[in-house]
Chain A
Amino acid sequence: MSPVIDQDDAALVDGTKNGNDACFAELVRRYEGTVAATVISMLGPGDEADEVGQEVMIKFYRSLARFDGQSTVKTYLTRIAINSAKDALRRRKRNRLRFFTPKDNEDAWEDKIAGLEDQGRDVENTNLVSFALSKLHPDIRAVVVLRLVEGWSTQEAANILQVPTGTILSRLSRGKIQMAKAISGASA
Protein backbone atom coordinates (compact mmCIF):
# COMPACT_ATOMS: atom_id res chain seq x y z
CA MET A 1 0.00 0.00 0.00
CA SER A 2 1.30 3.49 -0.92
CA PRO A 3 2.06 5.99 1.86
CA VAL A 4 -0.89 8.24 2.71
CA ILE A 5 0.87 11.30 1.35
CA ASP A 6 0.75 9.78 -2.15
CA GLN A 7 -2.91 8.83 -2.03
CA ASP A 8 -5.63 10.88 -3.69
CA ASP A 9 -8.53 12.35 -1.71
CA ALA A 10 -10.96 9.56 -2.55
CA ALA A 11 -8.52 6.94 -1.24
CA LEU A 12 -7.95 8.96 1.92
CA VAL A 13 -11.70 9.31 2.49
CA ASP A 14 -12.14 5.55 2.03
CA GLY A 15 -9.20 4.88 4.34
CA THR A 16 -10.73 7.10 7.01
CA LYS A 17 -14.09 5.36 6.69
CA ASN A 18 -12.25 2.07 7.23
CA GLY A 19 -10.79 3.38 10.47
CA ASN A 20 -7.32 4.48 9.28
CA ASP A 21 -6.67 7.70 11.23
CA ALA A 22 -3.46 8.35 9.31
CA CYS A 23 -5.62 8.94 6.22
CA PHE A 24 -7.72 11.52 8.05
CA ALA A 25 -4.60 13.21 9.46
CA GLU A 26 -3.33 13.56 5.88
CA LEU A 27 -6.64 15.11 4.78
CA VAL A 28 -6.36 17.59 7.67
CA ARG A 29 -2.80 18.53 6.63
CA ARG A 30 -3.83 18.78 2.98
CA TYR A 31 -6.79 21.11 3.59
CA GLU A 32 -5.68 22.99 6.70
CA GLY A 33 -4.72 25.98 4.53
CA THR A 34 -8.10 26.07 2.78
CA VAL A 35 -9.98 25.97 6.08
CA ALA A 36 -7.65 28.56 7.63
CA ALA A 37 -8.09 30.96 4.70
CA THR A 38 -11.86 30.72 4.94
CA VAL A 39 -12.27 30.77 8.70
CA ILE A 40 -9.64 33.40 9.49
CA SER A 41 -10.90 35.67 6.70
CA MET A 42 -14.41 35.34 8.07
CA LEU A 43 -13.59 35.70 11.79
CA GLY A 44 -10.19 37.37 11.98
CA PRO A 45 -7.15 35.63 13.48
CA GLY A 46 -7.09 34.23 17.03
CA ASP A 47 -8.18 31.41 19.29
CA GLU A 48 -11.78 31.53 18.12
CA ALA A 49 -10.75 30.95 14.49
CA ASP A 50 -8.49 28.06 15.55
CA GLU A 51 -11.34 26.53 17.55
CA VAL A 52 -13.78 26.90 14.65
CA GLY A 53 -11.16 25.42 12.30
CA GLN A 54 -10.97 22.34 14.53
CA GLU A 55 -14.77 22.14 14.61
CA VAL A 56 -14.83 22.21 10.80
CA MET A 57 -12.50 19.22 10.65
CA ILE A 58 -14.51 17.34 13.29
CA LYS A 59 -17.77 18.02 11.41
CA PHE A 60 -16.07 16.79 8.24
CA TYR A 61 -14.98 13.62 10.04
CA ARG A 62 -18.46 13.04 11.45
CA SER A 63 -20.07 13.50 8.04
CA LEU A 64 -17.68 11.26 6.12
CA ALA A 65 -20.19 8.39 6.21
CA ARG A 66 -22.51 10.59 4.15
CA PHE A 67 -19.81 12.07 1.90
CA ASP A 68 -20.47 10.58 -1.52
CA GLY A 69 -17.72 12.34 -3.48
CA GLN A 70 -20.20 14.30 -5.63
CA SER A 71 -18.37 17.48 -4.71
CA THR A 72 -14.63 17.67 -4.10
CA VAL A 73 -13.26 17.51 -0.56
CA LYS A 74 -12.13 21.13 -0.95
CA THR A 75 -15.63 22.34 -1.91
CA TYR A 76 -17.24 20.26 0.82
CA LEU A 77 -14.84 21.50 3.50
CA THR A 78 -15.19 25.11 2.34
CA ARG A 79 -18.97 24.83 2.67
CA ILE A 80 -18.61 23.47 6.22
CA ALA A 81 -16.06 26.20 7.01
CA ILE A 82 -18.28 29.02 5.77
CA ASN A 83 -21.31 27.70 7.68
CA SER A 84 -19.30 27.15 10.87
CA ALA A 85 -17.80 30.63 10.64
CA LYS A 86 -21.25 32.14 10.16
CA ASP A 87 -22.47 30.21 13.22
CA ALA A 88 -19.52 31.60 15.19
CA LEU A 89 -20.39 35.13 14.05
CA ARG A 90 -23.96 34.62 15.23
CA ARG A 91 -22.66 33.36 18.62
CA ARG A 92 -20.33 36.33 18.80
CA LYS A 93 -23.19 38.71 18.05
CA ARG A 94 -25.34 37.12 20.77
CA ASN A 95 -22.52 37.42 23.30
CA ARG A 96 -21.76 40.95 22.25
CA LEU A 97 -25.37 41.98 22.62
CA ARG A 98 -25.38 40.35 26.02
CA PHE A 99 -22.16 41.85 27.33
CA PHE A 100 -21.12 44.79 25.13
CA THR A 101 -22.58 47.34 22.82
CA PRO A 102 -21.86 46.91 19.08
CA LYS A 103 -19.76 50.05 19.29
CA ASP A 104 -17.27 48.25 21.57
CA ASN A 105 -16.28 45.84 18.83
CA GLU A 106 -15.74 48.62 16.29
CA ASP A 107 -13.71 50.51 18.86
CA ALA A 108 -11.61 47.40 19.48
CA TRP A 109 -10.70 47.20 15.79
CA GLU A 110 -10.01 50.89 15.60
CA ASP A 111 -7.84 50.70 18.73
CA LYS A 112 -5.93 47.84 17.17
CA ILE A 113 -5.19 49.86 14.05
CA ALA A 114 -4.36 52.95 16.08
CA GLY A 115 -2.06 50.77 18.20
CA LEU A 116 -0.10 49.71 15.16
CA GLU A 117 0.25 53.32 14.09
CA ASP A 118 1.45 54.28 17.58
CA GLN A 119 4.16 51.66 17.28
CA GLY A 120 5.48 53.63 14.32
CA ARG A 121 4.33 51.05 11.80
CA ASP A 122 2.12 51.63 8.79
CA VAL A 123 -1.28 50.12 8.93
CA GLU A 124 -0.59 46.93 7.06
CA ASN A 125 -2.73 45.71 4.21
CA THR A 126 -3.52 42.63 6.23
CA ASN A 127 -5.11 44.62 9.01
CA LEU A 128 -6.90 46.96 6.67
CA VAL A 129 -8.35 44.11 4.68
CA SER A 130 -9.35 42.24 7.86
CA PHE A 131 -10.89 45.42 9.24
CA ALA A 132 -12.83 46.03 6.03
CA LEU A 133 -14.01 42.41 5.95
CA SER A 134 -15.17 42.68 9.55
CA LYS A 135 -17.47 45.53 8.52
CA LEU A 136 -19.40 43.36 6.07
CA HIS A 137 -22.58 41.44 6.83
CA PRO A 138 -21.69 37.72 7.17
CA ASP A 139 -23.57 36.78 3.97
CA ILE A 140 -21.72 39.43 1.99
CA ARG A 141 -18.44 38.61 3.74
CA ALA A 142 -18.78 34.95 2.74
CA VAL A 143 -19.08 35.92 -0.92
CA VAL A 144 -16.13 38.32 -0.80
CA VAL A 145 -13.99 35.70 0.95
CA LEU A 146 -14.84 32.99 -1.56
CA ARG A 147 -14.53 35.15 -4.66
CA LEU A 148 -11.73 37.57 -3.86
CA VAL A 149 -9.71 35.92 -1.10
CA GLU A 150 -9.86 32.32 -2.22
CA GLY A 151 -10.46 32.83 -5.92
CA TRP A 152 -13.48 30.56 -6.40
CA SER A 153 -15.49 31.40 -9.54
CA THR A 154 -18.97 32.90 -9.29
CA GLN A 155 -20.50 29.51 -10.18
CA GLU A 156 -18.37 27.67 -7.61
CA ALA A 157 -19.19 30.23 -4.92
CA ALA A 158 -22.89 29.80 -5.77
CA ASN A 159 -22.52 26.03 -5.37
CA ILE A 160 -20.73 26.35 -2.03
CA LEU A 161 -23.22 28.81 -0.59
CA GLN A 162 -26.18 27.19 -2.35
CA VAL A 163 -27.55 30.47 -3.68
CA PRO A 164 -28.13 31.64 -7.29
CA THR A 165 -25.22 33.20 -9.21
CA GLY A 166 -27.15 36.50 -9.37
CA THR A 167 -27.07 36.64 -5.58
CA ILE A 168 -23.29 36.10 -5.62
CA LEU A 169 -22.83 38.92 -8.13
CA SER A 170 -24.99 41.41 -6.24
CA ARG A 171 -23.43 40.56 -2.85
CA LEU A 172 -19.94 40.82 -4.31
CA SER A 173 -20.74 44.18 -5.80
CA ARG A 174 -22.07 45.50 -2.48
CA GLY A 175 -19.18 43.96 -0.60
CA LYS A 176 -16.54 45.64 -2.74
CA ILE A 177 -18.18 49.05 -2.36
CA GLN A 178 -18.43 48.65 1.44
CA MET A 179 -14.84 47.42 1.71
CA ALA A 180 -13.51 50.30 -0.36
CA LYS A 181 -15.38 52.73 1.92
CA ALA A 182 -14.11 51.04 5.08
CA ILE A 183 -10.52 51.03 3.81
CA SER A 184 -10.59 54.66 2.73
CA GLY A 185 -12.19 55.60 6.06
CA ALA A 186 -9.62 53.70 8.14
CA SER A 187 -6.57 54.91 6.21
CA ALA A 188 -7.74 58.57 5.98
Chain B
Amino acid sequence: MIDQRTEDLVEKLLEGRLELIEQVELEAKRTENPDLDRFIDAERELRSMIGSRPKPEFEPFFDQRVMKRVHEESENSMRANGQSLFDVDFSAALARLFPRIGIPAFALSGLAMASNASAASPGATLAEALFALPTLDAVSLLIF
Protein backbone atom coordinates (compact mmCIF):
# COMPACT_ATOMS: atom_id res chain seq x y z
CA MET B 1 0.00 0.00 0.00
CA ILE B 2 1.41 3.36 -1.06
CA ASP B 3 0.26 6.34 0.98
CA GLN B 4 -0.40 9.81 -0.40
CA ARG B 5 2.82 11.26 0.97
CA THR B 6 4.88 8.56 -0.73
CA GLU B 7 3.00 9.16 -3.99
CA ASP B 8 3.81 12.87 -3.73
CA LEU B 9 7.49 12.07 -3.21
CA VAL B 10 7.53 9.68 -6.17
CA GLU B 11 5.83 12.29 -8.31
CA LYS B 12 8.44 14.86 -7.36
CA LEU B 13 11.21 12.32 -8.02
CA LEU B 14 9.90 11.61 -11.53
CA GLU B 15 9.37 15.29 -12.26
CA GLY B 16 12.85 16.20 -10.99
CA ARG B 17 11.49 18.35 -8.16
CA LEU B 18 12.67 16.27 -5.20
CA GLU B 19 14.56 18.26 -2.58
CA LEU B 20 17.46 16.78 -0.64
CA ILE B 21 15.51 16.27 2.58
CA GLU B 22 12.69 14.60 0.61
CA GLN B 23 15.25 12.39 -1.12
CA VAL B 24 16.35 11.09 2.28
CA GLU B 25 12.71 10.53 3.27
CA LEU B 26 12.02 8.61 0.07
CA GLU B 27 15.13 6.46 0.50
CA ALA B 28 13.95 5.53 4.00
CA LYS B 29 10.54 4.60 2.62
CA ARG B 30 12.19 2.47 -0.07
CA THR B 31 14.04 0.50 2.56
CA GLU B 32 10.87 0.02 4.59
CA ASN B 33 8.60 -0.91 1.69
CA PRO B 34 9.84 -3.49 -0.82
CA ASP B 35 6.87 -2.71 -3.16
CA LEU B 36 7.90 0.90 -3.58
CA ASP B 37 10.52 0.23 -6.27
CA ARG B 38 7.93 -1.63 -8.32
CA PHE B 39 5.51 1.26 -7.87
CA ILE B 40 8.17 3.75 -9.02
CA ASP B 41 8.95 1.62 -12.08
CA ALA B 42 5.24 1.39 -13.00
CA GLU B 43 4.84 5.14 -12.57
CA ARG B 44 7.91 5.78 -14.71
CA GLU B 45 6.62 3.45 -17.43
CA LEU B 46 3.17 5.07 -17.52
CA ARG B 47 4.67 8.54 -17.71
CA SER B 48 7.06 7.45 -20.41
CA MET B 49 4.20 5.98 -22.47
CA ILE B 50 2.20 9.16 -22.13
CA GLY B 51 5.23 11.35 -22.81
CA SER B 52 6.39 9.42 -25.87
CA ARG B 53 3.16 9.68 -27.82
CA PRO B 54 3.09 12.46 -30.41
CA LYS B 55 1.44 15.67 -29.31
CA PRO B 56 -2.20 15.60 -30.43
CA GLU B 57 -2.95 18.06 -33.23
CA PHE B 58 -6.02 19.19 -35.11
CA GLU B 59 -6.25 18.72 -38.85
CA PRO B 60 -4.44 21.46 -40.85
CA PHE B 61 -6.06 24.90 -41.25
CA PHE B 62 -7.77 24.75 -37.85
CA ASP B 63 -7.26 28.51 -37.42
CA GLN B 64 -9.00 29.18 -40.74
CA ARG B 65 -11.95 26.99 -39.75
CA VAL B 66 -12.26 28.89 -36.47
CA MET B 67 -12.05 32.32 -38.13
CA LYS B 68 -14.66 31.27 -40.70
CA ARG B 69 -17.02 30.34 -37.85
CA VAL B 70 -16.25 33.55 -35.99
CA HIS B 71 -17.17 35.57 -39.09
CA GLU B 72 -20.33 33.55 -39.74
CA GLU B 73 -21.52 33.73 -36.14
CA SER B 74 -20.63 37.44 -35.91
CA GLU B 75 -22.69 38.16 -39.01
CA ASN B 76 -25.63 36.18 -37.61
CA SER B 77 -25.31 37.99 -34.31
CA MET B 78 -25.21 41.41 -36.03
CA ARG B 79 -28.28 40.50 -38.06
CA ALA B 80 -30.16 39.19 -35.04
CA ASN B 81 -29.41 41.87 -32.44
CA GLY B 82 -26.99 44.36 -33.91
CA GLN B 83 -24.11 43.29 -31.70
CA SER B 84 -20.77 41.69 -32.40
CA LEU B 85 -20.28 38.11 -31.24
CA PHE B 86 -18.14 38.80 -28.20
CA ASP B 87 -20.70 41.21 -26.79
CA VAL B 88 -23.27 38.50 -26.70
CA ASP B 89 -23.47 36.72 -23.43
CA PHE B 90 -26.50 36.15 -21.28
CA SER B 91 -26.02 38.95 -18.78
CA ALA B 92 -25.14 41.42 -21.52
CA ALA B 93 -28.24 40.35 -23.42
CA LEU B 94 -30.38 40.93 -20.32
CA ALA B 95 -28.82 44.33 -19.78
CA ARG B 96 -29.65 45.29 -23.36
CA LEU B 97 -33.18 43.95 -23.14
CA PHE B 98 -33.98 45.83 -19.94
CA PRO B 99 -34.25 49.34 -21.41
CA ARG B 100 -36.23 48.06 -24.41
CA ILE B 101 -38.66 45.77 -22.58
CA GLY B 102 -38.21 46.14 -18.83
CA ILE B 103 -38.67 49.93 -18.53
CA PRO B 104 -41.78 50.12 -20.78
CA ALA B 105 -43.23 47.13 -18.91
CA PHE B 106 -42.71 48.86 -15.56
CA ALA B 107 -44.24 52.05 -16.93
CA LEU B 108 -47.30 50.21 -18.27
CA SER B 109 -47.76 48.36 -14.97
CA GLY B 110 -47.56 51.67 -13.11
CA LEU B 111 -50.20 53.20 -15.37
CA ALA B 112 -52.47 50.17 -15.02
CA MET B 113 -52.13 50.18 -11.27
CA ALA B 114 -52.83 53.90 -11.04
CA SER B 115 -55.99 53.61 -13.14
CA ASN B 116 -57.16 50.51 -11.23
CA ALA B 117 -56.54 52.20 -7.89
CA SER B 118 -58.80 55.09 -8.78
CA ALA B 119 -61.58 52.77 -9.95
CA ALA B 120 -61.35 50.35 -7.02
CA SER B 121 -64.31 49.59 -4.78
CA PRO B 122 -64.18 51.14 -1.31
CA GLY B 123 -63.58 47.89 0.64
CA ALA B 124 -60.71 46.62 -1.55
CA THR B 125 -57.24 46.05 -0.12
CA LEU B 126 -54.24 47.84 -1.68
CA ALA B 127 -53.17 44.75 -3.69
CA GLU B 128 -56.73 44.15 -4.89
CA ALA B 129 -57.03 47.78 -5.93
CA LEU B 130 -53.65 47.97 -7.72
CA PHE B 131 -54.04 44.73 -9.69
CA ALA B 132 -57.81 45.03 -10.24
CA LEU B 133 -58.40 41.76 -8.38
CA PRO B 134 -61.88 40.83 -7.22
CA THR B 135 -62.32 41.50 -3.53
CA LEU B 136 -62.12 38.52 -1.20
CA ASP B 137 -65.88 38.63 -0.67
CA ALA B 138 -66.50 38.37 -4.41
CA VAL B 139 -64.09 35.40 -4.65
CA SER B 140 -65.83 33.69 -1.75
CA LEU B 141 -69.14 34.11 -3.54
CA LEU B 142 -67.75 32.54 -6.70
CA ILE B 143 -66.32 29.56 -4.82
CA PHE B 144 -69.31 28.81 -2.69
Contacts and interface: CB of A to CB of B under 8 A. Distances in A.
Interface of A: 16-17, 19, 21, 24-25, 28-29, 32-33, 35-37, 39-41, 45, 49-50, 53-54, 57-58, 61-66, 124-126, 128-129, 148-149, 169-170, 173, 176, 179-180, 183
Nearest to B65: A54
Given A50-B62, A62-B86, A62-B89, A33 B57 contact: yes
B50 A58 contact: no
Contacts of A37: 55-56
Given A40-B58, A58-B85, A61-B70, 12 more contacts: A21-B70, A28-B62, A29-B63, A32-B62, A36-B57, A41-B56, A62-B86, A63-B86, A66-B89, A125-B49, A169-B7, A183-B46
Which secondary structure dominates chain A's binding surface?
helix
Contact of B58 (A53, A63, A128, A180): A53
Interface of B: 4, 7-8, 42-43, 46-47, 49-50, 52-59, 62-63, 65-67, 69-71, 73, 84-89, 92
A21 B67 contact: yes
Contacts of B69: 54, 58
23 contacts: A19-B84, A21-B70, A28-B63, A28-B66, A28-B67, A32-B58, A33-B57, A35-B58, A39-B56, A41-B56, A45-B56, A50-B65, A57-B70, A58-B73, A58-B85, A64-B86, A65-B87, A65-B89, A126-B53, A129-B53, A148-B50, A173-B7, A176-B43
